[in-house]
Amino acid sequence: MPVQDVHVIINLVKPAALIGLGRILILANKPGESTFKSYTDLDSIKADYADTTNAYKKASAIFAQGSNRPDLIYIANYDPAADGDETPGYKLTEAITAYAEKDWEFLILADAEQEDKVAAAPAVEALGIKFLVVKIEDEASRAAFKTYDRTIVFYHPVADEHPDAALVGACGSQTVGSITWKFKTLLGITPQDFTTAQVQAIHGDGAIAYVTKAGIPQTSEGIVGSGEYIDVIHSKDWIKVNMEHSIQVALSNAKKISFDNTGIGILEGQVTNVLQQAFTNGIIATDADGQPIYTITAKTRDEVDGTDIASRTYNGLSFSFELAGAIHQATITGEISEGSSGSSSSGSGSTTTP
């Protein structure tokens, strides 16, 4: 990860009682020297990757997502035959590590087979940030990622379509916290005629699908392999990155931030600003009075260990918040009566929308 002086650690706590991090990197199998380049349109991509390549087709699916598409994407290549010595290229997992500090959040694999996808998942998970997004075409392979919080599995048994790329093209660049990844229409992707039982099995395997509900083509869920929601992990990344950046900028721009209560207050102010923006974006929940539900705790200088003061390391700042979440299902209860002239019976029922 980039060299930094600020480290934000967020632990996701889910009590039992309580019911533009959008950049995309396409990694392509292409022999020779590995390059990492940005592209803003398909014409510029075609100069490096022909329109018959999977890298081009993935990019095309991304750029096809209308007004929600990103302004640019990255494409890098890796060489499976690279020997790691004199060959100026990388193998897949080495490329993930080599480009980990670059400005991307979602990784698409253009040419990977199942074994490569399985190998890439722990490599991305180990980064502690970013997502791997894979398309799986066969039912037997889709459950291989159920232990990962940072792998999005799209089950779509259509060989010539790229819903993995379309998904991040449609959702990745939208304001983090403002959307759920369920119910999203993907341009250029064909909805599949799965039964309810099949969709439930897909979700049980930690994967999502593209189906039609109420006559609208849409993503069937918005989860990662482990079953956690994509927007929860993405929101966690947003807060971590923005808070580290905000405090790092404050440290860098000041002549000095003194290790006293005034200096501590400056750091606390940066944390407050980020959490307020997270609330505005829809990440943090609202209480009954319309106020954001978060708390910030900052130890004063007198409460800090003397060894920390001597080493100029402040570890006394912490925060917590409640996620706003999203409604993915609803149960609606109604009642039918025979009217005022009738005397006999009435009925009631409920319906649940998945």
Confidence (pTM): 0.85
CA 100/CA 342 separation, integer angstroms: 71
Q: Do 56 and 64 meet the contact criterion of CB atoms below 8 Å apart?
A: no
| pLDDT reported for residue 296 | 92
What one-character DSSP code corresponds to residue 142? G
Q: By C-alpha distance, which of 146, 133, 131 is closest to 176?
A: 131
Token digits of residue 117: 């996808």
Of all helices (H) and strands (E), which one includes residue 330? strand 330-337
Tell me the C-alpha distance between 260 and 268, whole Å: 12
Distances (CA, A) of 322 to 18, 200, 241: 10, 28, 18
Q: How many residues does the chain have?
A: 354
* 124 burial level (CB within 10 Å; 0-12, 13-18, 19+): buried
161 token code pair:
């379509």
Q: How far is CA 21 from CA 24, 130, 160, 176, 354, in A?
A: 9, 9, 28, 7, 28
What is the per-residue pLDDT for 96? 94
- Residue from 173, 247, 195, 248 nearest 3 by CA: 248
pLDDT tens for each residue of the chain, 354 residues long: 555 555 555 444 433 322 247 899 999 999 888 899 999 999 999 999 999 999 999 999 999 998 889 989 999 999 888 765 555 678 999 999 999 989 899 999 999 999 999 999 999 999 988 999 999 999 999 999 999 999 999 999 999 999 999 999 999 989 888 999 999 999 999 999 999 999 999 999 999 999 999 999 999 999 999 999 999 999 988 888 888 888 888 888 999 999 999 999 999 999 999 999 999 999 999 999 999 999 999 999 999 999 989 998 889 899 999 888 877 777 788 888 887 655 444 444 544 556
Question: If you write DSSP's letter for every residue of 63-91 in order, what string do you get?
Answer: HTSGGGS-S-EEEEEE-TT--SSS-S---
| Whether 241 contacts 129, CB under 8 Å | yes
Which single residue is written with the structure tokens 């349109």? 41
What tokens appear for 114 in the block? 């199942």
Half-sphere exposure of 263 (CA within 13 A, CB side): 14
